[in-house]
Structure 1
């Protein structure tokens, strides 16, 4: 038992699918064979989620300290923050109460990791509008983690099966994203990508670096960012012994990575990396009018602690129905354990 990593999992927005998919994940006994999981959230919300997903046989164990957790299958240990009034909770709706709760769950799990009380953190989705209504002005989880851990140089990695993508920029306008393609930033992200792959057990990572412009600029015909910024960054990385290749035209790079040419892709901006990964990870069944799969994970690299997140939103339209898939959460926990086991 002592060798299994302790994973702190935030409940996400209380009005979202977060509590429901968390129960579904904990209903799988293999989760307890993998790690020692504990939820950071509100016990009353987790209790209410049990009948929604048809797992009334499970028990909620409210705790006030990690040391009180049982880590027993059939019992969900919940570090109870006591932030939600069930009489005011309306599933599927944005509220300051839920935004405040979701923010505090994240802050708590970060502090637990920084204090070495958990070995890794996993985050369910929160609603950015709700968090901002509560007075916390962040564009996402990543920025909260960066600020609370004092991290300046970080990036987002998305992963689904053998497709892994890191980003030079994420939550900025497309116009600003182009301006952020600078040699030093591209080099920093290449280095982070190389380190992340090694932490996942890939001894000699092959890194594909995307171009910014169509055809990677076509030797300056469609833009000069490749010549002025991206190629110098790749050459600098190669001089350090990193196996980086590119700039590869973005319209073919991801298919090559999916085919095994590269272990990880360096994307230049948010949608360049997100769209191809979600095309393969999100599978909609047209006949059933439902998602067959919503898989993939979101990892913040460069932090002093491990943070993995589901790669989907709060899905307010599904909240309270019990139909949401827990696959992405399960993938996230598996990735968190992999990182924890490989981190020195």
Structure 2
């Protein structure tokens, strides 16, 4: 049977419900997966009407009630009742509903009713207005699954990028580039790649300074922190290269020289991936007890409710989840067979 993927509806005041129903209406996923939307029927029906789509909503009580027909939107509603909100406006109601849908999706994944979740965008300010202390998807999922510091992976085409740090100021991110942090991140990145079905990954580490510091002319982070980290990782048997100039290493990885790159700070890797293809850059959260992929754009309050939003990223996030579920299944099978040998 095809894997079941859970999709929380995202922030109801943003474009999440629109791109969700568009993706499911314009693509036939029935040959590769089954889809369960976790959200509120009346909000999703409004999105269907706004976008003039030929979808019929079927409310379900359990994952076993799924109707796999492409024209059917299977919807499981959270127990928490819906609240009133205004489209395109930050509000506690929108933040609370987005959180409740994500929480139920996570529970379904933990209990293995769904094999992965694919997330549309949520709004950090609305979460904050709803007194939800976590700042975004990754932090919420880490808390709900009791996962310590999950690792973010961006993928677009053949380029895969891990991040040494996420939401730090540039000054703080530079201070975070230490030998110990790099070694830990590289180990976790290699483990993540293996769990996603890439058995012997070749990992590159980007430089921080122009020309990787040019022997200290433009900074010492490469000589003092990155090079010793790479040497230690190589001594431990990991296939790691670096530091490599950030203006070329991402291009090299895109063209197959490396399986993945460790970006040293948020924008370094975000710019590299989004310049390849903004709409098809997908975020994958590694280290959770289940697979999670996500669009990598915001709630776009300025166009929410107008039926204008592109569903390309949502479609790609579902396709990437299906692809990795297949690779992970093969990886587990190989590992189990190896253990029995």
Tell me if TM exceeds 0.5: yes
1:260 and 2:256 aligned: yes
CA apart distance, 1:200? 4.2
Query: How large is the Cα RMSD of the aligned pairs?
Result: 1.7
1:245 and 2:229 aligned: no
Cα distance in 2 for residues equivalent to 1:14 and 1:185: 38
1:324 and 2:322 aligned: no
Consecutive unaligned residues in structure 1, runs of 5 or more: 283-293
Q: How does 1:142-181 map to 2 (within 5 A)?
A: 142-181=138-177
Give the match for residue 135 of structure 1.
131
Cα distance in 2 for residues equivalent to 1:323 and 1:128: 22
Please point out which of 296, 307, 325 is paired with 2:281.
296
Deviations 1:265-318 (A, max 9, x none): 100010010011111212xxxxxxxxxxx2210111122221111011111112
Partner of 1:166: helix, strand, or coil? strand
Partner of 1:60: helix, strand, or coil? strand
Partner of 1:298: helix, strand, or coil? strand
Q: TM-score, normalised by structure 2?
A: 0.91
1:67 and 2:64 aligned: yes
Q: TM-score, normalised by structure 1?
A: 0.90
CA apart distance, 1:145? 1.3
CA contact (8 A) 1:5 1:35 kept: yes
CA apart distance, 1:69? 2.2
Deviations 1:85-117 (A, max 9, x none): 4xx332211111000111111111111111111
Partner of 1:300: helix, strand, or coil? strand
Of 28-37 and 43-52, the range deviating more from structure 2: 28-37
1:22 and 2:24 aligned: no
Task: Give the paired residue count.
Answer: 328
Consecutive unaligned residues in structure 2, runs of 5 or more: 333-341
1:222 and 2:218 aligned: yes
Cα distance in 1 for residues equivalent to 2:218 and 2:81: 53
Partner of 2:283: helix, strand, or coil? strand
1:270 and 2:266 aligned: yes
CA contact (8 A) 1:42 1:80 kept: yes
Please point out which of 273, 289, 311 is paired with 2:296.
311
CA apart distance, 1:183? 2.0
Q: How does 1:28-47 map to 2 (within 5 A)?
A: 28-47=26-45
Give the match for residue 286 of structure 1.
none
Deviations 1:137-156 (A, max 9, x none): 22221111112222224221
Give the match for residue 339 of structure 2.
none
Give the match for residue 183 of structure 1.
179
* Change in 2 beyond 3 A, CA 1:29/1:332: closer
Partner of 1:31: helix, strand, or coil? coil
Cα distance in 2 for residues equivalent to 1:136 and 1:52: 30
CA apart distance, 1:136? 0.6
CA apart distance, 1:213? 1.8
CA apart distance, 1:201? 4.0
